[in-house]
Amino acid sequence: MTQIEFNCPVVNQHRLNDQFVILTLKSAAICDTAQPGQFVNLSCQEFLRRPFGIMAIDRATNEFQVGIQIKGKGTKQLAGLKIGDIVSILGPLGHGFDMTGARRIITVGGGTGVFPLYFVHQTAKELGIERIAICGYRSVEDAILRDEFKAIANRTVFASDTGGLDVIGHAGHALQIALEQLASNTIGSQPTLDQSTFILTCGPKIMMQKVAEMALANGLSCQVSLEEHMGCGIGICLVCVCKIKNHETAEINHQRCCVEGPVFAAEDVVW
Amino acid sequence: MTQIEFNCPVVNQHRLNDQFVILTLKSAAICDTAQPGQFVNLSCQEFLRRPFGIMAIDRATNEFQVGIQIKGKGTKQLAGLKIGDIVSILGPLGHGFDMTGARRIITVGGGTGVFPLYFVHQTAKELGIERIAICGYRSVEDAILRDEFKAIANRTVFASDTGGLDVIGHAGHALQIALEQLASNTIGSQPTLDQSTFILTCGPKIMMQKVAEMALANGLSCQVSLEEHMGCGIGICLVCVCKIKNHETAEINHQRCCVEGPVFAAEDVVW
Amino acid sequence: MVNTHVQIGELTLKNPVIAASGTFGFGREMQQWNNLSQIGGISSKGLTLNPRLGNDPTRVAETASGMLNSVGLQNPGLQAFIEHELPFMLGLGTTVIANIAGHSLEENVQMAMQLDQTAVHAIELNLSCPNVNKGCMAFGSSAHLIQEVVRAVRQSTTKPLWVKLTPNVTAISEMALAAESAGADAVCLINTLLGMAIDRRSRRPVLRNNTGGLSGPAVKPVALRMVWDVAKSVSIPVIGMGGIMTGEDALEFMIAGATAVQVGTANLVKPTACQDIINEMIMIATAEKITSFSQYTGTLKTW
Amino acid sequence: MVNTHVQIGELTLKNPVIAASGTFGFGREMQQWNNLSQIGGISSKGLTLNPRLGNDPTRVAETASGMLNSVGLQNPGLQAFIEHELPFMLGLGTTVIANIAGHSLEENVQMAMQLDQTAVHAIELNLSCPNVNKGCMAFGSSAHLIQEVVRAVRQSTTKPLWVKLTPNVTAISEMALAAESAGADAVCLINTLLGMAIDRRSRRPVLRNNTGGLSGPAVKPVALRMVWDVAKSVSIPVIGMGGIMTGEDALEFMIAGATAVQVGTANLVKPTACQDIINEMIMIATAEKITSFSQYTGTLKTW
Ligand SMILES: Cc1cc2nc3c(=O)[nH]c(=O)nc-3n(C[C@H](O)[C@H](O)[C@H](O)COP(=O)(O)OP(=O)(O)OC[C@H]3O[C@@H](n4cnc5c(N)ncnc54)[C@H](O)[C@@H]3O)c2cc1C
Ligand SMILES: Cc1cc2nc3c(=O)[nH]c(=O)nc-3n(C[C@H](O)[C@H](O)[C@H](O)COP(=O)(O)OP(=O)(O)OC[C@H]3O[C@@H](n4cnc5c(N)ncnc54)[C@H](O)[C@@H]3O)c2cc1C
Ligand SMILES: Cc1cc2nc3c(=O)[nH]c(=O)nc-3n(C[C@H](O)[C@H](O)[C@H](O)COP(=O)(O)O)c2cc1C
Ligand SMILES: Cc1cc2nc3c(=O)[nH]c(=O)nc-3n(C[C@H](O)[C@H](O)[C@H](O)COP(=O)(O)O)c2cc1C
Ligand code: FES
Ligand code: FES
């Protein structure tokens, strides 16, 4: 019996712009065990908790961060938290990204999907894995965390639907270009584009599906972080299911986004 | 069409002890028209508003006060408000005390009933009416607003169920003694105990009933401030009714505590 | 400019937001907060032939995101309504609906006949009050009884006749069909859900009447489902209510199939609710480039 | 020391707080948050004879003080339950209840017969799931069908048989009486209220199944009223639920007439809810100098 509900103090609230806020919270227990791709379930004044991917952890200070996009009532309340406020949190929850055997990762993030991918880079850096970050945004105004990714990744590509960044178009488009360059060995330190290059993606479903197809077409391992509306976040209510294929039996199952996910192997996902 | 919902800032929060808090709020509109015995309906995080008698107003600063006893969720939230917080308020509401023709008032308050009676003294002082304040408490610890009443009333009597104040027993008991003294002309500046002495009471029902009986037995005019659970506070939902007798027709009617009340003539109340 | 008008049978409402019975008095107190000529209509407090004191207090209990009430149809009686309240209401410049809640078929018929002689715009036959012993919800729980009483009332007046249904039934669409087949011009739903609150310390029901009617946002999901269900079943207009607090809520009811909505409990906590809701609906419709509110009705795309 | 035990027919529960079906999995995930040997019982996720995928997502919609779910009985099937989950559950040191929700009388009978051969402590016959097309709530809305299916299941097992009722009916006490007369050892209520949530922008139901079951504090007043109503009517124990979040809530249900309670949605937002509720109940009972929880049952003093 391990108690994993925590009352965490807000130690910082940083507003990136009118849509995005980064909360810094303190919890040794969460920092101790969190893996990239895992999430926390935060209480607000609404009835249900709200799930957010862990964006970064700092084991020295026992602080961790979540990036929040203001969507409805709950995110508005959370974005309005002030330093010193206490938040009830369950976490770390779920099944994160697996980087075992990776020599290079390419993260492909879209929208709020870039937040949890930052934690992937933090961890990959510690593990000495080469890191390419591809981030897609709707516009330059939405293009959050660019400095942070530039500082942590070996290489970054920022795409914007409306131009003004490295690539015009969506993140999948940017991935295509990056893969071509990698294949022709014009970028990256690793010689080849082989099974040791992992594609890790989080963002809009349609983007992740494109990314997954591209990765699989290139024979690369790909993991996707799915999003589903949740009740409990801890596996007991079965509302958060994703359609996942069992490749041995060819059966399609409903797996829980909050326990078996949110990260799944791309080839198992029934889009 | 007069708009009487106000978003009032909290300008002070003063905790008397673990049970009682005095909130000071700012609203010119409320201070302009409030009469003693009227109330305000405050929003909290619960579904319904919470009614509180107006305790004092300061026309110079446009600030008014309510005294709050912490009972359940709503009063706990309101007691926890901080300076600068904004509260949605409807008011002033209801029908207050009528002091027309009074040369002397005797207020008899019990528990939170002493709060709105303070406003009665404020007004009576402005009107040059002699003021006797009788306040009943459960214990010395509960004996709030004593300094305030001493400063504003011509004479005060504090009663405590458990002793330690002027009189042991309830406020009705204290009133009995005061009436005897007044009748024998040993206290008070007015010569006689006649119709121009008004008894104004607010507090537990059983206390008010005793006070009313005593007043009527002594041929004195008596007004009581009733309390009922409210929905709207503005007369539209009919949930807050009190049983009131029409002395002409001898009919018993349901009158709205929030509009026809909370102050009623004691002789009309069906206890 | 959005065309805000909606059509309930022969009656045109200037907009789809009606103040619900029992939560707006007879409009008098609400003048302070609203320009009443700008709301779609007002349904009177539930009326009986003779004056009624209603139930003893306590008559209200707060619940999670809602409230229970056990008013029990306190009202001055039909005659006093017609003499003292109706003329005032008719002067407000909005549609006036008389909500009647007789304890018997005969009482409802008699009231309808008397109202037929007045200038009231519509009659809302309340077969759904949970707070009285006789009539009302007892009628409203049986398709057969609904048919009987609606047919009788239908024959006693040429006024538009709306029938207000209780949610405390197994199949509300059957009740709506019964009302329709007996000649109702519209059905209104939902009235309150029968509920109870208990004071743990005293081991007493909070309400002196033991039970009461639940309203407010807590019931909205049930109300929406019933409005959708009924709107699929009947071809007369549906007037939807239950927990509407915002313009968004109101539009959800219209999308589910309501031609108009009623706003009840919201008035209690926010006296400007009706006007605020209309304004928000206009804002949304404008943003969505909708030219007429009626375009929302029944546009739910189910899966 | 409060005696926390309560008696449901022949079965003694170590305390009256049971984890409600569908909100506790098969207990596995909840070990992290609770000492499961200290809760009164666990009702399994609703079981069918064959594995079921349940409905497509989105399966949850938040509502005011509550939520809608449309899981649709996703479960591994009875055989897998008996092989893989039941042994685990029986090892937890708490009372284990198998919640069965067959789509036909025959399926329920067959499941009861198979469970009869296991060490499960009780069967909860779910005649109230609103999220499947066949069986379940369709049975639960008719006293006649309830009687039929309960009688058949009763004859196929000697296990304690609890019947779980739907609130989506006109007269729930008639349903309870039907279950009692057919041999139920207890009735459990309420299951969820049928509701709907709409996304105004897309004009789509939030739930892929269009409708779902409403649970949480929003429904508590309705649940309390029904528990009170049923407890007055039947002489078998009533197991009450619907919106219980605190020990106070649980005691209100017992005062209304429940012998035990179930805690559902609360587990989702507070995984320690069951234990917290038991602890709070013990605190209150101690303060009130109550020596046995069972002394609360049915002590409501109505007006
Ligand atoms: C595993 C996971 C990780 C996530 N990580 C992040 C993150 O790092 N940063 C971020 O900004 N957002 C993240 N989200 C999405 C975030 O949870 C929702 O935006 C948020 O719950 C919306 O709440 P609201 O009250 O503002 O919106 P409302 O629309 O008012 O919420 C109503 C209900 O729907 C649910 N809901 C609404 N949108 C979503 C959604 N996209 N996914 C799941 N539930 C939803 C809410 O939780 C709530 O129960 C994540 C979601 C999941 C499932
Ligand atoms: C006209 C009037 C004037 C009042 N003036 C004061 C005052 O000056 N100071 C003060 O401390 N209290 C006053 N009260 C009582 C105060 O309104 C209640 O104590 C308060 O509403 C309790 O809210 P709660 O959420 O803490 O309690 P809860 O018990 O959780 O409230 C639940 C519900 O019951 C209602 N309720 C509970 N107790 C009362 C009560 N005694 N009267 C009316 N409704 C109640 C609440 O408003 C709420 O709707 C007054 C009441 C009325 C009617
Ligand atoms: C205090 C109160 C009194 C009510 N009185 C009546 C009534 O007299 N007649 C009636 O048909 N409905 C009455 N209702 C029901 C409302 O008109 C409405 O159907 C119900 O409250 C649901 O809508 P809401 O959630 O917006 O309040 C009353 C509701 C409340 C809260
Ligand atoms: C996500 C979810 C799944 C549920 N699944 C079942 C089920 O499989 N079988 C059943 O009998 N009840 C099921 N229920 C109903 C609950 O057991 C309970 O009757 C209902 O939610 C009311 O209690 P509550 O308000 O405490 O949740 C489910 C409820 C929820 C919220
Ligand atoms: S959210 Fe409850 S099982 Fe995933
Ligand atoms: S509280 Fe609504 S009429 Fe008095």
Task: Give B104-135 pLDDT, tens digit per residue.
Answer: 999 999 999 999 999 999 999 999 999 999 99
What does the block give as tokens for B28? Answer: 């010119």
Q: Binning pLDDT at 50, 70 and 90, where does residue D68 land?
A: very high
- Residue D129 is among the residues annotated as catalytic for this protein: yes
CATH architecture of the domain with range A5-93: Beta Barrel (2.40)
CB contact under 8 A, C32 and B1: yes
**Which ligand 1 atom minimizes the distance to the CA of A46?**
25
Per-residue model confidence (pLDDT) at position D228 = 98
Per-residue model confidence (pLDDT) at position A189 = 59
Burial (CB count <10 Å: 0-12, 13-18, 19+), residue B49: buried
Per-residue model confidence (pLDDT) at position C154 = 98
The pLDDT of A111-120, averaged and rounded, is 96
Q: Binning pLDDT at 50, 70 and 90, where does residue D155 land?
A: very high
Per-residue model confidence (pLDDT) at position A1 = 39
| Residues in B touching C39 (Cβ below 8 Å) | none
**CATH code for B104-220?**
3.40.50.80
- Tell which of C129, C268, C270 to mutate to test the B interface (max B CBs under 10 Å): C268
pLDDT at residue C74 is higher than 70: yes
pLDDT at residue A152 is higher than 60: yes
Q: Which residue has the higher pLDDT, D219 or B167?
A: D219
Q: Binning pLDDT at 50, 70 and 90, where does residue A184 land?
A: confident
Question: Which residues of chain B have a Cβ shorter than 8 Å from any chain C Cβ?
Answer: 1-5, 43, 46-49, 90, 228-232, 234-243, 252-254, 259
Least confident of A256-270, B28-42, B177-191, B236-250: B177-191
How far, in Å, CA of B179 to CA of C235, rounded?
72
Q: Residues B69, B20: contact at Cβ < 8 Å?
A: yes
The continuous run of DSSP H or E covering A53 comes out as: strand A50-53
Q: List the one residue out of D248, D250, D213 whose CA is nearest residue D39.
A: D250
CB contact under 8 A, B241 and C270: no
Q: Does C25 touch chain B (CB under 8 A)?
A: yes
What does the block give as tokens for B97? Answer: 């005390």
- Tell which of C21, C24, C33 to mutate to test the B interface (max B CBs under 10 Å): C33
Give the model confidence (pLDDT) of B251-265 as tens digits. 999 999 999 999 999
**Nearest CB neighbour to A47, from listed D59, D67, D272:** D67
**CATH code for B226-271?**
2.10.240
Read off the amino acid at residue D291: T
Q: Residues C160, C11: contact at Cβ < 8 Å?
A: yes
Q: Identify the structural domains of chain D with CATH numbers, from first to last.
A: 6-54+72-192+215-296 (3.20.20.70)
Give the model confidence (pLDDT) of D82-133 as tens digits. 999 999 999 999 999 999 999 999 999 999 999 999 999 999 999 987 777 6
Q: Does D290 touch chain C (CB under 8 A)?
A: no
How far, in Å, CA of D184 to CA of D8, rounded?
11
pLDDT at residue B1 is higher than 50: no
The CB of C153 under 6 Å from ligand 3? The reply is no
**Residue numbers of C annotated as active site:** 129
Per-residue model confidence (pLDDT) at position D134 = 65
What is the percent of chain C where pLDDT is above 70? 98
Average pLDDT, chain C: 96
* Dihedrals phi, psi of D245, to nearest 5 degrees: -120, -25
Judge if B104-220 and B226-271 fold alike in CATH terms: no
Q: Which of residues 119 through 158 in chain D touch C, CB cutoff 8 A? A: 141
- Map B115-176 to HEC letters: HHHHHHHHHHHHCCCEEEEEEEECCHHHCCCHHHHHHHCCEEEEEECCCCCCEECCHHHHHH
How far, in Å, CA of C167 to CA of C226, rounded?
8
**Which one of the ligands is nearest to D190 CA?**
4
- Tell me what ipTM this predicted complex has: 0.96
Per-residue model confidence (pLDDT) at position D55 = 96
CA distance B228 to chain C (A): 7
Q: Which residues are CB-contacts of B70 (< 8 A; sequence separation ≥ 6)? A: B18, B19, B20, B21, B76, B79
Domain residue extents for chain B? 5-93, 104-220, 226-271
Pocket (CB within 6 angstroms of ligand 2): B 39, 46, 48, 50-53, 66-69, 71-75, 112, 115-116, 227-230, 262; C 62
CB contact under 8 A, B232 and C267: yes
pLDDT at residue A101 is higher than 80: yes
Ligand 2: which residue has its CA nearest to atom 36?
B229
Per-residue model confidence (pLDDT) at position B71 = 96
The pLDDT of D125-153, averaged and rounded, is 85
CB contact under 8 A, C252 and D211: no
The pLDDT of C67-94, averaged and rounded, is 97
The pLDDT of B186-206, averaged and rounded, is 81
CA distance C113 to chain D (A): 31
Q: Which residue of C has its CA nearest to B232?
A: C268
Q: Residues D275, D35: contact at Cβ < 8 Å?
A: yes
| Residues in B touching C69 (Cβ below 8 Å) | 231, 237, 239
Q: Which residue has the higher pLDDT, C148 or D133?
A: C148
The pLDDT of C139-155, averaged and rounded, is 94
